[in-house]
Chain A
Amino acid sequence: MKLVATEEERDLAAAMRDLFATHCPTTLVRALREPGGERFPQKLWEALTRAEVFALPFGEDVGGSGGTLDDLAVVYAEAGRALCPSIVLNTLHLGLAIDALAGPEQRAAVLAPLVRGELRGSVALASPYDAGDVRPVLRAERVTEGVRVSGRVDHVGDADLADRLLVTAELATYGEPARTIALLLDPSAPGVTRTALPTSDGDRGHAVELDGVAVATDSVIEDVDLATLRRVALTVRALQCVDMAAGAEAVIERTVAHTTSREQFGRAIGSFQAAQHLVADMHIATQAARLAARSAVFWLGRGRPGQRETAVAVLKAATAYRRVTLDAHQLHGGMGYVLETDLHLWSERARRLGVEGGGPDAAAGWIEEAIGLV
């Protein structure tokens, strides 16, 4: 037990902060959301590949560096501070899911190129409204060379950029109980329709419609264990909480910098007690979120089901990030409210990550379940 960053964690954090400062400035974040512009952060991707970020949490058997989920949390914190584009994180989510669910051949087939930065991906493993709900929404049937799958999954991140999309489906076989399988889809395959669901922050989730899409046997993961699936979905959610807590920290730093340099009534607005107390409350909420998020990742990485821990993390991180950004707008005044300044970029990420996979309401429900209130 020691709730202090280790020297290795501090070194990794410093290296990642440098990398993102160089390769992920807010100008890149803005450029990626321009309508009609390039959506893929090529240079950042290359830098992350060189830094072996895609290799970090995976085993040496697939070319990974054998790090832990805790190491990945350090990366997520810096990614969250810098508003790292979602295709990077979604690709890591695909890797985590394959690592947990797939057999040796499929692991090698997906993780080896992923680790080398040669494969982009995304996942749709749980309800986008509730990461604890992993009941499949797609329906599959067995055919000679594999399965055919139909149905619609909503709010799939980066479905336009991904080479592979991991989804789950219920496989009905006559005379047998229905089973859950996972499928590695090529989103550009015949029968797949991707419809962008545009949001005000330019981030493009998609509705992915499958109309009898053929998936070959080697892309099917048979017999998915729902408990494992749920743990992967919660792991993704817990990592997003790390992202949120760190994003909130970055917003506090920007806000403090603004309020200590901006003068009104002949003194820095950061010298007013009301402003300081708002910052203190932002700090308290953020520290609560940071500890809860790291705790959830830690326990998930050690094999706990993690529902309660992740729920605590979501409750704290989703509320903290949103509150911190809104209070930051208050402390910046008009100076932070216009689109020429960057603050709204974090506010939008807070809004998105706060709800994707279930916000505080869903998380409270997970706790009620975990402590036996329902």
Chain B
Amino acid sequence: MDFELDPGQRQWLQEVRAFLREHVTPALVAELAEHDLEKRDGELAAFRRKIGDKGWFGLNWPTEYGGLGLGPIHQHLLVSEFERWGVPGPDLTVTSVAPMIMRHGTEQNKAEFLPPIARGEMVCAVGYSEPDAGTDLASLRTRAVLDGDEWVINGSKIWNSGAQRSTHEWLCVRTNPDVPKHKGISVIIVPIDAPGISIRPLMAWSGYRTNETFFDNVRVPATNLIGEVDKGWRYITGALDLERGALTNAGDLRRAVDDLLALAREPRRDGVVPVHDAGVRRRLAELDADVEVATLMGFEAASLLEDGTIPSVEVSTEKIFTSELRQRIAEAALDLLGPDGLLGHNTAAAPLAGSFERLYRAAPLLRFGAGTNEVLRDVIAQRGHRMPSYGR
């Protein structure tokens, strides 16, 4: 085991930091502070184009697909660093959709979709959950029926985050209702502005926007099917493992704890300096230690990817650990700030512009999102330790 970045990786980190120093402008930060109401144009969209110009959306892809041919550790360093700066970097389109297209897609899939993803021009929302099949993903009912050389799609998706700023859907559909539920699922790429699609916003407690998306006789070319028909379950679970790895990066947690440490050294409105309290110090020390551990878990998952395997039990472990840690960080912040911690997001009097008030509301999301922690505990027990299935 080697815990030290090699000279090339250190150099890369410097390059990423230099990019962020140059391009994370006050205007971008201001737009991001307006919650996650991302638009298709604006500061964030311009920032994305700059990332695309660098070729960083495809940084770990083979050069034949328009990538830079760097490794998963390079990608992990970039994503962590972006999170630490609080700006969106490569999203699920890059970290989980594209690798699945690369692994399982047809030659036409690869030629058609990978280059625009690498340029940052194609952004996918991932359409998995449905109102009647949330965590029980395989019960999805959105149907696709082949009509000549087109798929005709009917149904709806919920928790369809980012649909308002995407160009496409990575859509999971039922293509065969006559086989066991895991075996009749396919994945189809659907342009988001295809006739018959409508998007309804759902605002979350954290201020985060997600969506419900409806598909009414939506027609796409037959060649938009990814890989083989009815084999989609494999692609989805692979993409989900990658998604968990990418989403559970500890970059934002490092930043949150560093912010919290700084805050705890300053007097509150009542004049009390939180770190003067031994109990507070102990709690901060434990959070600091846990962020170090979460960082190691992220590097372990990236190392496995570098070895050519998609980590599964490892990212389930990481996802549970980081999501529960995020919650604990927010709880500790609100406890040590007392009433100051209630001051609302973006109000002048709020410590750190209310970022911990917001984090507290944001934290539950990743405990149930990207696979509930309960299901991931099943994954650890059953896939990691071969404990018997209880019929899920």
- Interface residues, chain A, CB within 8 Å of chain B? 1-6, 9, 70, 252-253, 256, 259-260, 268, 270-273, 275-277, 279-281, 283-284, 287-288, 291-292, 294-295, 298-299, 302, 308-309, 311-312, 315-316, 363-365, 367-368, 371, 373-374
A49 to chain B, nearest CB (A): 27
B321 touches A371 (CB 8 A): no
Q: Is B288 an interface residue (CB 8 A)?
A: yes
Asked if B218 is an interface residue, CB under 8 A from chain A, the answer is no
Chain B residues 215 to 266 lying within 8 A of chain A, measured CB to CB, are: 261, 264-265
Q: In the complex, which of the residues B285, B306, B320 contacts A367, with contact meaning CB atoms closer than 8 Å?
A: B285
Which residue of B is nearest A74, CB measured? B1
Q: Which one, A270, A309, A316, A373, contacts B261 given CB within 8 A?
A: A373
In Å, the complex CA distance between A312 and B296 comes to 11
How far in angstroms is the closest Cβ of chain A from B245? 13
Query: Who on chain A is nearest to B6 by CB?
Result: A1
Q: Is the CB of A268 within 8 A of B388?
A: yes
Contact call B381/A312, Cβ cutoff below 8 A: no
Binds A, one of B52-60, B122-130, B372-380: B372-380
Alpha-carbon gap, A260 to B382, bound state (A): 11
Chain A residues positioned under 8 Å from B9 (CB to CB): 1
A199 to B299, CA, bound (A): 41
| A256→B387 contact, CB < 8 A | yes
Beyond A2-B303, A271-B388, A364-B285, 14 additional pairs, beta carbon < 8 A: A1-B299, A2-B306, A3-B299, A4-B303, A260-B387, A284-B380, A288-B290, A291-B300, A292-B296, A315-B286, A363-B289, A364-B282, A371-B261, A371-B288
A291-B296 Cα distance, complex, nearest whole Å: 7
Smallest beta-carbon distance A234→chain B, Å? 15
- Which A-B residue pairs are the 5 nearest by beta carbons? A276-B381, A280-B377, A367-B285, A280-B380, A291-B296
Residues in B with CB closer than 8 Å to A374 are 281
Distance to closest chain B CB from A275 (angstroms): 8
A6 to B300, CA, bound (A): 13
Interface string of B275-310 (1 = CB under 8 A from A): 100000110111011101100110110011011000
Residues of B contacting A2 with CB < 8 Å? 1-2, 73, 303, 306-307
Q: Closest residue to A316 on the B side, CB-wise?
A: B293
Main secondary structure of the interface of A (DSSP, over half): helix
- Asked if residues A288 and B297 are in contact (CB atoms below 8 Å), the reply is yes
Distance between A19 CB and nearest chain B CB, rounded to angstroms:
21
Instruction: Return the chain A residue nearest B374 by Cβ.
Output: A277
Residues of A within 8 A of B264 (CB): 373
| Residue on B nearest A299 in the bound complex, by CB | B3
* Chain A residues closer than 8 Å to B290, beta-carbon distance: 288
A256:B296 contact, CB within 8 angstroms: no
C-alpha spacing A132/B174, complex, angstroms: 60
Q: Is B384 an interface residue (CB 8 A)?
A: yes
A295 to B293, CA, bound (A): 9
Contact indicator A3/B296 (Cβ below 8 Å): yes
Given A276-B382, A298-B1, A284:B321 Cβ within 8 A: yes
Contact among A5, A277, A291, A368 for B297, CB-based, below 8 A: A291
| A-side contacts of B21, CB under 8 Å | none
Q: B284 contacts A373, CB within 8 Å?
A: yes
Chain B, residue nearest A366 (CB): B285
B297 touches A287 (CB 8 A): yes
Q: Are B296's CB and A271's CB within 8 A?
A: no
Chain B residues lying within 8 Å of A272, measured Cβ to Cβ, are: 390
Contact in complex: A295, B3 (CB < 8 Å): yes
Contacts of B321 in A (CB 8 A): 284, 288
With A1-B299, A3-B296, A288-B297 in contact, is A283–B285 under 8 Å at CB?
no
Distance, CA A6 to CA B389, complexed state (A): 33
In angstroms, Cα B292 to Cα A15, docked, is 31
For B385, list chain A residues within 8 Å (CB).
252-253, 256, 279, 283
Give the chain A neighbours of B303 by CB distance below 8 A: 1-4
CB distance from B141 to the nearest CB of A (A): 26
**Is B5 located at the chain interface by the 8 A CB criterion?**
yes
